[in-house]
Structure 1
Amino acid sequence: MPQATFQVDQEIYREKISTAIIRHNYPFMFVEHEGIRDLHSFLNPTVKPITRNTAKSDVLKLYKRERDKLKHVIESIPSRICLTSDLWSSIATDGYLALTAHYVDENWILQKKILSFHHMPPPHSGPILVEKRHLSLTDTLFCGGEFFHVRCGAHILNLIVQAGLKVIDEAVNKIRESVKYVRVSEGRKIKFAECIAQLSLSCSKKVCQDVPTRWNYTYLMIDGALMYRRAFDQLQLIDVHFKTCPSDDEWVKVENIAKFLKPFYDITTLFSGFHYPTANLYFHGVWKIQMLIKEEIRNSCDAISSMAKQMKEKFDKYWECYSVVLSFAIILDPRYKLQFVEFCFKKLYPATYVDRVKFIRDKLYMLFEEYMCLSSISTSNQSSVACASGGDNIGDEMDEFDIYESQHYGLTRNKSQLDLFLEEQKFDRKQDLDILTYWKANKLRYLELALMARDILSIPITTVASESAFSIGSQILNKYRSSIVPKNAEALLCTRDWLYEKGNIKFSNEDEEDEELAEDFESIITTLKNSSNDSHSSFS
């Protein structure tokens, strides 16, 4: 046994244990496992083993310390904070509410932090999440709370597409059954892989099985199956038990469906991206969806037309009136501004686009005026002091200067920051622009407008960041730890988010679920080729 050359700092050791439990989702009792204790003692005999109760206490202590740090950070940020909330039920059917903060930090980087993960007794109804009366009474919301509530873009997209998929269930069902057939056993996988190899088909896509509640998996299933269409046809010729292969007409129908769904998939990916999307992506994405639905209603294919009609009903219910505050974000993008909103509405509503644009513009100016009022209140005391110490004659001279400037240089000085920004020449639309970097660079030119842009651009398009908490929650509150008390679950989940997630919103269990649903036939074909080569080598 190696001899220890130093005395272990027990406090540091215990903190390392706590961070390991939080980061890797170890059970508290692992500190009492004989193998773990033996390993630590081997590395340094001065280590003092701890109990599971001590481990719990240390995790809670680390949670409280990091929570205090986060409070300090939030108190110091110059922008407003957007909150998203969502409900989730654990494997034991206990309800939890995740509250997530979204903000732009002092470096103008978009951030998200889970603030709490509280146990929530029933009822678990939607109205609970949108209750805002207590906030309105304290007058803490801009414009009386008019822009307080924003719907989740990804959730609405899911509702829209699911409505369309109900129409074409029969067309997709054969694909679904065919995918299930080739994935059900090792023998069938090998037989299908042999078909792919014989036809020399590309294996750049996996054969995916869909999930009823996640329409994007249905799209991936169809898209993957289309690549292996000839292999499915070949399998039907050599396997008498394979009876669900689509006909030629059905393949064409499914191909049209895939083309129709592709833009929806792309926009869902954009809205729910791994890299945190800013709010300026919203308006253009929703407009593209509306234009697509409008065009496909007239499609000569009855299936596509029926899908589009069903989708339009859902679209009109949730998005016919675009989110006003998220529409501001595209106007504050120097590549688009108000002209883009006008262009989009004119394409959709030729008869009423002027009124729609005016409505958005008026609301934008109303919000900007609130920022100007807040700014004038915060600087009024300083101005009063300056005037009191300067004397009357200086004020008279400055008033005279104002008149001179107005007469000789026009009314530019009377224009607001928002006026000047909207009148400036737009940037090249094809330019790859980080919009937060733009506003960071122009914060001195447009003091109040930059503050407003900062707040608007931090509004999340979706609640995916909040829902990501449930990915961690499902690991913490799994079937082996379903009875963990809520305060410990919150400590584990929140501290992991603060220390290790760093704004990312995709977690390992999602990757594992993807692997379970997708079959990589390229690896099977490679194994078959290697086995064949080995056999020839042995024979020779």
Structure 2
Amino acid sequence: MEEELGEFEDFEVVDESDSSATRRFRCTTSSVWTEFDKYKDGSGKKGQNVKGVITTILLEIYRELLAKAIVDHNYSYSSVEHASNKRLHAYLNRDVKFISRNTAKSIVGKVYQREKETLKHALELIPSKICLTSDLWSSLTSDEYMVLTAHYVDENWVLQKKILSFSNVPPPRNGAILADRLISLLKEWGIEKKIFTITLDNASYNDTMIANLKKHPSFGPCLPCNGNFFRVRCGAHILNLIVQDGLKVIDKVVHNIRESVKYVRGSDARKLRFVECLRELPFTTSKKVCQDMPTRWNSTYTMLEASLKHRSAFLHLSMIDPYYNTCPLEEEWNIAEKIARFLEPFFHITTLFSGSYYPTANLYFHSVWRIQVRILKELESEDQIIQAMAKVMKEKFDKYWDCYSVVLSFAIILDPRYKLQFVEFCYERLYGNDAVSRAKILRDKLYVIFKGYLQHSTGNSSTMAQRPSCGTPDCDTRDDIEGFDTFTSRLVDAQDEDERLVEDLESLCISQSDAHMDDE
């Protein structure tokens, strides 16, 4: 009988003493209750909750998560007062206590200050120097904002990028005022003695700002090598100026294509008519016509490339739409095609320079050299348009890049694939007999900066012991360095030269260490 009652294991069989013929079941404690926790609330009322289910919301954790949600998604502070938001929270917790927009603002401010102190402490501990980038931004209301970003390699050899400030700069705005603002920001973060370089555009006020920074008594003396390597011109910005000058040669062609794209995208009816023209073509393309931003040449290149894919559709549209009168002529389309081929490597280099999640210093020298070689080659082009563009672009190149940024060129020397031999090879193709003297100048400056690092060395080599491989994209160099192997084979003493360079640097390090030991 008891075997048959196995399914009633939570019940106990009770034998009635007054009746031998009658048996009944009495409920005992179910095993289900082991999945519950008992509790007693503030009023003394008892209850039970399922284990693992959070029934109490920690106010501090909730407020921090709310602050991060506001920041991450750019919510307004008033969103916490929205009726739908309140209904959602009331559904999750009937005892919820709503907060006001002012409270939300206060919570976000506290989280910001805490995160700022955390970052400030991290910047104090990093063993390396810090590189800065700064620029001015204009809002729709014409207010100017200065953004200051720090770039550094942390103790784990991970490239970091942190925005330190995005603050309004009221007029008047000149180099002296911007220099004072920058100094105050660096002191606020406690990194005024750890700066190596700052990357800026070519605005005239930046020249004054750099001069004032170098002369500042609490900042200038802390710059490595007397600030000789302090300023770095933005490579992507200069490349934009170079190509923009070249595009002025074919301004009419670019204007017609730009107006054609603008016309097609002007209304839904025109878009449908253009789609019908595309259906008439014997081929299809996944490219879509896109409007460019005239101040950014890479967007202009993208517009040209996409428009060339739809060349036949534009020609067809000009035949069926009497209001479309900016279609480029056949000759202008041919010019645009040549220009697109000419500018393609410039576009890829701009993309490389614009990267922010991988190191770009090692890409600089070779990229700028490729640009220079390309321009010099097209100066001898049989096409008059290309030749005229190359001539204008060379003038702008010589203005800003005739002397490559020295500090960024060091990266190619330290790259074991190229070293100083590659610099000499590049200089020989560009400058002929002056190649050796130019390479020597670069090498001498490498000694200078190496000595500067020795003087300010903290001796903390343990953090530099290991480093992971970085995610730098491959830069296709073999297209432009044909003859490099032949060049290196002619350098009989190239290996000895590299070994002497390493020995000299090591001897400098040893002598500096000995001097430090003597001082102790």
Q: TM-score with structure 2 length normalisation?
A: 0.70
2:119 maps to 1:70: yes
2:285 maps to 1:203: yes
Give the residue type in structure 2 aligned to 1:24. Answer: H
5+ unaligned residues in a row in structure 2: which ranges? Answer: 1-48, 175-204, 461-496, 511-520
Deviation at 1:294, TM superposition (A): 1.2
Q: Distance in 1 between matches of 2:353 and 2:308?
A: 26
Q: Distance in 2 between matches of 1:270 and 1:135?
A: 37
Deviation at 1:211, TM superposition (A): 1.2
More strand by share: 2
Q: Give 1:277's match in structure 2, choosing from 356, 359, 362.
A: 359
Q: Give 2:76's match in structure 1, choosing from 17, 24, 27.
A: 27
Residues 90/416 of structure 1: CA separation in 2 closer, same or farther (3 Å cut): same
**Aligned residue number for residue 271 of structure 2:** 189
Alignment of 1:178-257 (within 5 A): 178-257=260-339
**Aligned residue number for residue 146 of structure 2:** 97
2:61 maps to 1:12: yes
Cα pair 2:240 2:296 within 8 Å, conserved: yes
Deviation at 1:122, TM superposition (A): 2.2
**Aligned residue number for residue 360 of structure 1:** 442
Cα pair 1:201 1:228 within 8 Å, conserved: no
Aligned to 1:208, what secondary structure does the other structure show?
coil
Cα pair 1:338 1:422 within 8 Å, conserved: no
Give the residue type in structure 2 aligned to 1:17. Answer: L
Q: Distance in 1 between matches of 2:258 and 2:449?
A: 50
Residues 9/46 of structure 1: CA separation in 2 closer, same or farther (3 Å cut): farther
Alignment of 1:131-530 (within 5 A): 131-132=212-213, 133-134=215-216, 139-273=221-355, 275-375=357-457, 419-420=501-502
Q: Distance in 1 between matches of 2:216 and 2:500?
A: 32
Q: In the TM superposition, what whole-angstrom CA distance separates every residue of 1:180-231 from its partner, at most 9, and x where no partner exists?
A: 2222222221222122222132322121111111111111111011111122
Q: In the TM superposition, what whole-angstrom CA distance separates every residue of 1:514-537 from its partner, at most 9, and x where no partner exists?
A: xxxxxxxxxxxxxxxxxxxxxxxx
Q: In the TM superposition, what whole-angstrom CA distance separates every residue of 1:314-357 from its partner, at most 9, and x where no partner exists?
A: 11111111101011011111111111111111111113111111
Aligned to 1:321, what secondary structure does the other structure show?
coil
Q: In the TM superposition, what whole-angstrom CA distance separates every residue of 1:470-493 from its partner, at most 9, and x where no partner exists?
A: xxxxxxxxxxxxxxxxxxxxxxxx
Cα pair 1:32 1:51 within 8 Å, conserved: yes
Single out whichever of 186-195 and 141-150 deviates more from structure 2: 186-195
Deviation at 1:274, TM superposition (A): 5.5
Give the residue type in structure 2 aligned to 1:330. Answer: I
Deviation at 1:137, TM superposition (A): 6.1
Aligned to 1:351, what secondary structure does the other structure show?
helix
Q: Distance in 1 between matches of 2:293 and 2:347?
A: 15
Q: Distance in 2 between matches of 1:324 and 1:37?
A: 59
Cα pair 2:305 2:340 within 8 Å, conserved: yes
Residues 20/137 of structure 1: CA separation in 2 closer, same or farther (3 Å cut): closer
**Aligned residue number for residue 46 of structure 1:** 95
More helix by share: 1
Query: Percent of aligned positions with the same letter in both sequences?
Result: 57
Residues 95/418 of structure 1: CA separation in 2 closer, same or farther (3 Å cut): farther
Q: Distance in 1 between matches of 2:444 and 2:237?
A: 29
Which entry has the higher C-alpha Rg, 1 or 2? 2
Q: Distance in 1 between matches of 2:371 and 2:360?
A: 18
Residues 190/417 of structure 1: CA separation in 2 closer, same or farther (3 Å cut): same
Q: TM-score with structure 1 length normalisation?
A: 0.68
5+ unaligned residues in a row in structure 1: which ranges? Answer: 380-414, 424-444, 450-540
Residues 90/247 of structure 1: CA separation in 2 closer, same or farther (3 Å cut): closer
Cα pair 1:136 1:144 within 8 Å, conserved: no
Q: Distance in 2 between matches of 1:421 and 1:89?
A: 51
**Aligned residue number for residue 500 of structure 1:** none
